């Protein structure tokens, strides 16, 4: 049986090793690029290749969790790869620095910084979620999945320039909202 994008998920669920080989051939470059962007500055080429392999192994093992109604197999794979790469990055940083990245805060100031950082991250995610479509989808594809402008343009039916303009406006809106949040924090701190 020939493997295609249409039957890839079902063939993987049927444990067809040829489907896994197909997935690696078709999506390997996407996964490698994503992993490289996350751990390239820290890890070696071998670390990146090992992480890419682990992402495909995880997809093979967890294929039963894939739900076509929630998105494409490619998106699911890239999400798995992203989290795998973030785990690798954390481990590589721990190994390189000799101290865990998520060490316990040593003072009240450190604890406040950690809490504020987490709150700020949650605020940023909420702001991105508030973007109208297709701006939200474009922003996520570009800055979370590291997709090229050309791919985003092709998927959305927009020109590359239109995608660039939407990303520019989204970044501006995010900056403005973050500035407003910082002003609110400053105001709250003075009260």
Q: Which of 97, 127, 144 is the last residue of a domain?
A: 97
Residues 127 and 183 in one domain: yes
How many domains would you assign to the chain? 2
Is 48 part of a structural domain of the chain? yes
Do 137 and 80 reside in the same domain of the chain?
A: no
Per-residue pLDDT for the chain (191 aa), expressed as one digit of tens each?
688 888 888 888 998 889 888 999 999 999 998 898 888 778 888 888 999 999 999 999 999 998 888 888 898 999 999 999 999 988 888 776 433 334 444 455 555 555 555 666 677 778 888 899 999 889 888 877 777 889 899 999 999 999 999 999 998 988 888 777 777 666 555 55
Helix axes 160-190, 149-156, angle to 10 degrees: 100
CB 27 within 8 A of CB 52: no
104 DSSP 8-state letter: P
Report the C-alpha gap between 47 and 39 in whole angstroms: 8
Closest CA to 82 of 131, 141, 11: 141
Domain boundary among 47, 75, 97: 97
| Alpha carbon 58 to its chain's center | 16
CATH of the domain at 76: 1.10.1740.10
The domain boundary, picked from 97, 124, 142, lies at 97
Q: Coil, strand, or helix at residue 15?
A: coil
């Amino acid at each position: 049986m020939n493997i295609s994008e249409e039957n890839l998920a079902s063939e993987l669920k049927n444990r067809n090793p040829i489907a896994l080989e197909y997935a690696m051939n078709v999506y390997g470059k996407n996964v490698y690029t994503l992993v490289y962007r996350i751990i390239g500055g820290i890890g070696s080429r071998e670390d990146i290749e090992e992480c890419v392999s682990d992402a495909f192994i995880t997809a093979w093992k967890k294929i039963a969790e894939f739900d076509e109604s929630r998105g494409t197999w490619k998106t699911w794979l890239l999400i798995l790869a992203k989290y795998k790469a973030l785990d690798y990055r954390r481990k590589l940083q721990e190994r390189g620095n000799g101290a865990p990245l998520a060490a316990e805060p040593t003072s009240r100031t450190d604890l406040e910084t950690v809490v504020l950082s987490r709150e700020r991250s949650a605020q940023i995610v909420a702001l991105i979620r508030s973007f109208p479509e297709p701006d939200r989808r474009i922003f996520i594809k570009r800055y979370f999945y590291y997709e090229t402008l050309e791919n985003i343009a092709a998927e959305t039916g927009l020109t590359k320039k239109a995608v660039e303009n939407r990303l520019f406006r989204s970044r501006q809106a995010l900056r403005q909202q973050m500035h407003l949040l910082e002003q609110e924090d400053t105001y709250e701190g003075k009260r």
